[in-house]
Amino acid sequence: MFILALLVFSMCSCKKGEELNRELVNINDLTVPVSTNEITENEIGDYKAEKTKNSQVGLIVDSWLKIISIGETDGVVSVVVRNISDADVQYALLTVNCGDDVLSFPMTTVLAGSTSILKSDKPVEFDEKSSYFNWKVEEKTYFANELSVYPDVFEIMCCDKLITVKNISENDITGDIFVYYKKVENGVFSEGTTYRVRINGLEINEKIQVDAEHFMSSDSKVMFVTYVQ
């Protein structure tokens, strides 16, 4: 779900944004709790389940999404997933059965090769006899165009709760400009949500600062920009 921020005009000291970075993270560096439940090797439908070291589950779902590990904390299930394809996914809905419950893990802006930590949409009763089964990608939409922050068109400056955008091109931009960002830590996206801020056009050399409620310099990253000339 996208969050639409309001325009504001306040000042702060910011750092210049970078071009879209697809650097991967080593999954062995993650400190995510992992299920200790025994997983048996099996094949059901379009995915394969395999026992892996440290009880990590190597499920391949819908041929593009790999389940790296699963864990539970206070009834909330955490799943580490990786897009193992070469395509950027705009939206996908991952579901799994756990006992009598069906858990959902919506995700947006899933870059090719990226790793994300998702949390279940609701708490679940889980005991040592419980197990996960029937992983599915219920919905999936690819991006129609290559993602970019258009560094020849915009200068983007970010700081806590604020994003500043300047038109550095040679043309006025009369349509809407959207800057999309996600929460990230150590190269791993920490949730499935993508946020965005909106600017209603920019003249040549014009700079506007907008409120970005969820953006923090320590754990957020600009993902891409869309605009209408």
Mean pLDDT by groups of 10 residues along the chain of 229 residues: 34 46 38 32 32 52 92 84 96 88 93 94 70 85 95 96 97 97 92 95 98 96 95
> Are the beta carbons of 225 and 180 closer than 8 angstroms?
yes
Express each pLDDT in 6-53 by its tens digit.
333 333 444 454 455 444 333 333 333 333 333 333 332 233 333 322
Express each pLDDT in 65-80 by its tens digit.
999 988 888 878 889 9
Q: Write the burial class of residue 93 (CB in 10 Å: 0-12 exposed, 13-18 middle, 19+ buried).
A: middle
Domain assignment of residue 93, yes or no: yes
Distance separating alpha carbons of residues 195 and 188, to the nearest angstrom:
16
Whether 203 and 119 map to the same domain: the answer is no
Which domain does 107 fall in, by range?
Answer: 33-142
Of 142, 169, 189, the domain-final residue: 142
> Are the beta carbons of 170 and 180 closer than 8 angstroms?
no
CB neighbours (10 Å) of residue 63? 11
User: What do you get for the CA distance between the two ends of the chain, in Å?
Assistant: 25
Domain assignment of residue 106, yes or no: yes
Tell me which residue of 104, 62, 112, 110 sits closest to 85, measured CA to CA: 112
Domain assignment of residue 25, yes or no: no
Of 142, 164, 188, the domain-final residue: 142
> Which tokens sit at 48?
């394969």
Distance separating alpha carbons of residues 205 and 8, to the nearest angstrom:
18
